[in-house]
């Protein structure tokens, strides 16, 4: 799998603080201009999937019906988990969900994909890649 390095000096590299143990997880956050919506995290790990096909589905509206329609087609994660609505990145220290996704329906239109250091991004437009925070 490809690895994409993001230097810590970049403005879109920061920390996702765990609400449970306060660990500052290093993460890359996609800009709003990259329009990485919708995206879904794995139920078990911090991997994320972003598909342009889903964007067309939810372009006009974010509703529970459209969410269910997309969710039914989400793939399994190589870790054995599954990409599901409502899951967020998992804290590297305590392994609990960081609760990034509070409202799965509203989150359909959230363009800011947060990828923790070491997590992988899956897409329907390019091969999967692992994010690595360096520098
Ligand atoms: Zn934690
Ligand atoms: Zn996973």
Ligand 1 midpoint to CA 95 (Å): 6
| pLDDT greater than 90 at residue 6 | yes
Ligand 2 midpoint to CA 83 (Å): 7
pLDDT, position 33? 85
CA distance 25 to 123: 23
pLDDT, position 32? 82
Do the bridges between strand 120-123 and strand 129-134 make them parallel or antiparallel, or are there none, so unpaired?
antiparallel
Q: Which domain holds residue 110?
A: 2-120+128-134
pLDDT, position 14? 96
Domain count, the chain: 1
Ligand 2 midpoint to CA 49 (Å): 10
CA distance 68 to 59: 15
> Is the pLDDT higher at 33 or at 6?
6
Ligand 2 midpoint to CA 100 (Å): 16
Name the DSSP class of 126: S
> DSSP secondary structure string, 13-63?
EEEEE-TTT--EEEEEE--GGG---SEEEESSSS-EEE-HHHHHHHSS---
| pLDDT greater than 90 at residue 74 | yes
Nearest CA among 53, 95, 59, 98 for reference residue 74? 53
Across the range 68-75, mean pLDDT stands at 98
pTM: 0.96
Ligand 1 midpoint to CA 90 (Å): 8
Mean pLDDT of the chain: 97
pLDDT, position 34? 86
């Amino acid at each position: 799998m490809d690895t994409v390095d993001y230097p810590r000096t970049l403005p879109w590299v920061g920390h996702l603080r765990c609400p449970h143990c306060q660990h500052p997880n290093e993460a890359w956050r996609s800009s709003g201009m990259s329009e990485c919506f919708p995206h879904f995290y794995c139920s078990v790990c911090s991997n994320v999937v972003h598909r342009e096909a889903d964007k067309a589905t939810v372009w006009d509206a974010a509703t529970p019906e459209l969410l269910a329609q997309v969710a039914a087609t989400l793939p399994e994660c190589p870790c054995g988990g599954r990409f599901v609505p409502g899951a967020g990145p998992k804290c590297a220290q305590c392994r609990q969900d960081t609760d990034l996704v509070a409202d799965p329906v509203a989150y359909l239109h959230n363009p800011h994909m947060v990828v923790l250091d070491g997590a992988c991004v899956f897409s329907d437009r390019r091969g999967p890649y692992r994010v690595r925070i360096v520098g």
